[in-house]
Amino acid sequence: MTKRTALITGATSGIGFIIAKHLARKGYNLLIMARSPEKLKTLTEVLLDIDATISVDGFLCDFSSMESTNAACDAIAKKSPKIDVMLLNAGLWNSSEQKTEYGIEETLQVNLISQIQVFKALETCIPKNETSKVIITASALHQGEIYFNDLEFENGFSGFKAYRQSKLGLMMITRWLSNQTEFEGISFYSVHPGMVSTDLGRDASWFARMIFKLFGKSPEKGAQTHIHVIDTENSSLTNGEYYANKKVTKTTPYSYRMDEAEKLWEVIRSYIER
Ligand SMILES: NC(=O)c1ccc[n+]([C@@H]2O[C@H](COP(=O)([O-])OP(=O)(O)OC[C@H]3O[C@@H](n4cnc5c(N)ncnc54)[C@H](OP(=O)(O)O)[C@@H]3O)[C@@H](O)[C@H]2O)c1
C-alpha cells in the first residue's frame, strides 16, 4: 500500500514533536520544515528509529524570513509530493516587540503570515479527496478582533495581544478556507491543544514560565486533540471547525465573521506578495 505523506511545521519541540512521532508510528512519510539543522537531524533520527520504512525529508526554513519560507516551499514543491495531511503548527510568543528582517512584527509573520504562505505555496500538492486535511494550531487565546488599523501594534506593543490576534487570525482563516469552492475537497481544522508545558514561553517573564510549568499539561497530553483530528475520518469531523478536548468547540462571535476573515486573507496575501 502507498504510504500517506504529512508535512509539519514546528515539529522540533513541544506539541509538534509528539505529533511527528505519532505520524511516524502511523507510517506516514514526513516532510519537516524547521529552522535548526541540529534539531532537524535529531528529529529525523528519532522518527526513523520509530519506523525505518518511512521517508523523512527535512527542509531548513526560518518562518521569520519570507525568502527562507519560499525557498523551502520551492524545494518541497520540486519533489512534487502528494501532501495528504498538512500540519501548520509552528508558533512563538514574544514578550517584547521583535521585528523580522522585513520590518514586520515577528508574531504576525511567524505565527500567521508564514503558516498561510506554506499553505498557499503548496496547496496544489494536496489532493482534493475525502482524506486530505489541513490542521492549523490555534489557541483558546483568540478573544478580541483583528486590529486592521494597527495589525503590528505600532501604537503600543503587547505580546499577549499579538499572540492572541495571530491565533484568532489562524482560526478565522481556517473557517474561511473551508468555505471556498477553490479548495473544495480539502478539509480544514483548527486545534487548541490546551495549556501545555513547552518552550513556547521561553521569552516570557519567570512568573509566566512558572505558571506554564506548574499548570501546563505534558506535550503528550497536549497533542491528543491534534492526534484525534489526524486519525478521525473527515466524514466524522466538521470541516472548518475549531477543536479543543477532541470536540468541536464554540468560539467568540467575532471569530465567525467571514467578511473579516476574507479581509484578513487579502492582507496576508499582500504581505506575502510584497
Ligand atoms: N503550549 C501551549 O500552552 C499552547 C497553547 C495553545 C497553542 N499553542 C500553539 O502550539 C504550537 C506549538 O507550540 P509549543 O507549545 O509546542 O511550543 P514550542 O515547544 O516552543 O514549539 C514551537 C515550534 O515552532 C518552531 N518555530 C518557532 N519559531 C520558528 C521560526 N521562526 N521558524 C521555524 N520554526 C519556528 C519551533 O522551532 P525551534 O525548535 O527551532 O524553536 C518549535 O518547533 C504553537 O503554534 C503554539 O502557539 C501552544
Record the pTM. Answer: 0.97
Average pLDDT along the chain: 96
For residue 1, how far is its CA from the centre of ligand 1 (angstroms)? 33
Q: Which domains does the chain have, with CATH numbers?
A: 5-272 (3.40.50.720)
Say whether pLDDT at 154 is over 90: yes
Give CA torsion, residues 10, 143, 223, 218, to 10 deg.
Answer: 100
In terms of Cβ atoms closer than 10 Å to its own Cβ (0-12, 13-18, 19+), residue 157 is middle
What is residue 80's predicted lDDT score, i.e. its pLDDT? 81
The pLDDT of residue 206: 80
Which protein residue's CA is at the shortest distance from atom 26 of ligand 1?
Answer: 90
Q: What is the pLDDT of residues 72-88, one digit of tens each?
A: 999 999 998 899 999 99
**Residue to mutate (ligand 1; options 38, 40, 196, 245; most atoms within 8 A of CB):** 196
Give the model confidence (pLDDT) of 45-82 as tens digits: 999 999 999 999 999 999 999 999 999 999 999 998 89
* Number of the ligand 1 atom closest to the C-alpha atom of 106: 31
* Whole-number percent of the chain with pLDDT over 70: 100
**Pocket of ligand 1 from Cβ distances under 6 Å:** 10-16, 34-36, 39, 61-64, 89-92, 110, 137, 139, 192-193, 195-196, 198-200, 216
Query: Can you give the pLDDT at residue 71?
Result: 98
Residue 203 pLDDT exceeds 90: no
pLDDT exceeds 80 at position 266? yes
71 alpha carbon to ligand 1 midpoint, in Å? 21
The Cα 17–Cα 11 span in angstroms is 4
* 4, 26, 123, 160, 255 from 164: Cα distances, Å: 33, 32, 26, 6, 12
pLDDT of residue 205: 76
The alpha carbon of 137 and the centre of ligand 1 are apart by a number of angstroms equal to 9
- Top mutation candidate among 15, 143, 214 for ligand 1, by most atoms within 8 Å of CB: 15
- Write down the pLDDT at residue 13: 97
Please report which confidence band the pLDDT of residue 214 belongs to, taking 50, 70 and 90 as the band edges.
confident
Answer whether residue 234 shows pLDDT above 80.
yes
Q: How close is the Cα of 44 to the center of ligand 1, in Å? A: 18
Q: Which atom of ligand 1 is nearest to the CA of 194?
A: 5
